[in-house]
Amino acid sequence: MKIIEPSDINSLINALQKNGYKTLGPSIQEGVIIYDEINSTEDLPIGWTDIQDGGKYRLEKRSDNALFGYVVGPQSWKKFLNPPIQKLWQAKFKNKNLEIIPEEVKDMKFAFIGVRACEISAIQIQDKIFTQGQYINPNYQKRREGIFILAVNCVVTGGTCFCVSMDTGPKASEGFDLSLTEIITNDKHYFLVETGSEKGIQILSEISSRDARENEIEFGNQLIQNAAAKMGRSLNTSNIKELLLKNFEHPEWENVAKRCLSCANCTMVCPTCFCTTVEDTTDLSGEIAERWQKWDSCFTMDFSYIHGGSIRSSTKSRYRQWMTHKLASWYDQFDSSGCVGCGRCITWCPVGIDITAEVQTIRETEHFQPVLKEE
């Protein structure tokens, strides 16, 4: 474990850029912390934190100059790995010849700066979906190959975070190239640095650092443990798959449907949601057609449209589909939960619907209607 100073973060950004990475990280835009291109620590949300609750988010000044003193904003890293809109192919029809030109993803190297532990878990979930199993998404795979992950362990937690319940944080234990723990005391400000890959070791060797002392490592671990103890929310996951599947007709689904606007915000902000649709366009000459892929959501009517209509026409059925997929059937499909406990769907739900509270309500008021077997 090494120690670097806050001024060394600029050297780290420079070293990544010298190694061909486009550096992406947190910055403040329009009153929220989003992920965008950054070129120095000046672009980071220095001295700011985020206050979050169900349907609520605001930035507030901290009393120090923390570089990473916030949790997560409305965007996740999926916007770089699986962009919200992308062209898949173009078809050209001229002189009775049809040519299909697939859209090639260019070689790119992105350094993600400030990735939280829950977000690494979300990336690993999407890796499983897009790069493992029978169907590979070549565009995702190509983008993913060029990623450098600079993680930041959480020493503050947000009001809607519940990563401890999902066993995904607040400390990044794997899946990073370098990880930082930001430490601020009355008179000191420094970063503990851990390496997680050969790429990380190489980049760290290009900047100045010193060995961490035992007490500094212990102090960093203590800060992370303190953060874990202060999680804004928790989710009881015991037998969660069975709980949700056997309560398919629980009255809470109707209750939540009365509040849910079916706006799809929860799926847009979720770092693991991956559903898309395609849209075909043609030009006026009729000689060029294109297929574009766009993020979609199980909350839209069109998403479950099959011939004859939508099979999930009610808000109740759409919310139930979303939550039971995340927390129950995801296990059958991908052998894990589809939720990493980042809390975004709670913060960015305009009416403050809370996935942890919905599960708890169902748990406390189980309404199991046994299916009667035919004689």
Given the rule CB under 6 A, which residues bind ligand SF4? 260-266, 269-272, 299, 326, 339-345, 349-351, 353, 355
Residue 109 C-beta-side C-alpha neighbours within 13 Å: 8
* 108 or 257: CB nearest ligand SF4: 257
To ligand SF4, the closest distance from the beta carbon of 338 in angstroms equals: 7
Residues 6+ apart with CB under 8 A from 246: 366, 368
Residue 42: DSSP 8-state? G
CB 181 to ligand SF4: min, Å:
22
For ligand SF4, which is the closer residue by CB, 111 or 349?
Answer: 349
* CB-nearer residue toward ligand SF4: 15 or 115: 115
Question: Omega into 251 within 30° of 0, i.e. cis?
Answer: no
CB of 340 to ligand SF4, least distance (A): 4
* β-bridge partners, 178: 150, 195
Phi-psi sector, 341: left (phi>0), alpha (psi -120 to 50), beta = left
Rounded CA separation 160/345 (Å): 9
Nearer to ligand SF4, 23 or 324 (CB): 324
**Least distance to ligand SF4 from the beta carbon of 125, Å?**
9
Smallest distance from the beta carbon of 241 to ligand SF4, in angstroms?
15
Encode 96-137 in three state secondary structure: CEEEEEECCCCCCCEEEEEECHHHHHHHHHHHHHHHCCCCCC
Which H helix or E strand runs over 200? helix 198-205
Residue 73: how many CB atoms within 10 A of its CB?
A: 23
Q: How far is the CB of 260 from ligand SF4 (least distance, A)?
A: 3
Tell me whether residue 153 or residue 337 sits nearer to ligand SF4 (CB atom): 337
d(CA 46, CA 64): 9
**Nearer residue to ligand SF4 within complex by CB, 152 or 340:** 340
